[in-house]
Structures are given as structure tokens and as C-alpha cells.
Amino acid sequence: MTTLHEIQLELQDLSCNLKYATKQDKHLSADMQKKIDVALLAIEQILGFLPTYSQLDQDAIKDNLIQAMANDVARSKKITEILDLLDGLELLMTQISLMQAAEPAFAYKETIQPYNQI
């Protein structure tokens, strides 16, 4: 099981990498910039939500959010948005990991270029 601290470090690292990538690539498409902005927002919201948990992993976060939705209908819309952002963030992290594995000399700029073709 992953600790809260490890999750926070991974999210902070991902946030820094995304910010660095946007500064390095001055020719991002508007669509790609929007995707990065959404990912950064998701990371910010998740980091703000995480301190209420002790030891957990991605599935535990989702389970706790779903339980919170059942307990508090007023917050359920916001929690649903966070769950959607978690899914998108998980996909983005998987894609980045696959690209890093495929290219040993991975550079931040290369993270962005494949998405410009979408």
C-alpha cells in the first residue's frame, strides 16, 4: 500500500514536470495547454483533499470519495468532478510512464509533442 506522503510527492513531482514542460515548449496547441491546465487543477484539488487520509492508494481515494458522496449529497457534484479528474490524471500518468519507458533519454519536451498530433 502506498503512503499518503508518497502520493503527495508523486503528485507534486508530476505537477512540477507538467509546469516545466509547458515552459519548455512554447508552441503548445490550445487543446494540449487546456489538457495540461486541467491536469494541474486536478493535482491541486487532489493535494488539497489528501491530508484527510492516512495510508491509501488510488482505489482507496476513490472508495473514500464515493462514500463521502453517499454521506453528503451537497458535495457529491464536486466529488464526482474530482473522481473524473482522478481518472484523467491516472490516464495521463500512465501515458507519461509508457513514453518514459519507450525512450531511455526521456526529455520533458517529448512529453508534449505526441499529444500535439491529437
Per-residue b/e over 90-111, b at no fewer than 16 CB within 10 Å? eebeeebeeeeeeeeeeeeeeb
pLDDT in tens, 44-64: 877 776 654 444 566 677 777
User: Distance between CA 27 and CA 84 in Å, rounded?
Assistant: 28
Cell 508523486, residue? 10
pTM of the predicted model, to two decimals? Answer: 0.39
Range from 7-16, 32-41, 71-80, 85-94 carrying the lowest mean pLDDT: 71-80
What one-letter code names the amino acid at 58?
Answer: Q
Cα distance between residue 95 and residue 90, in whole Å: 9
Distance of CA 20 to the CA centre of its chain: 15
What tens digit of pLDDT does each residue of 72-103 get? 666 666 667 777 777 777 777 777 777 666 65
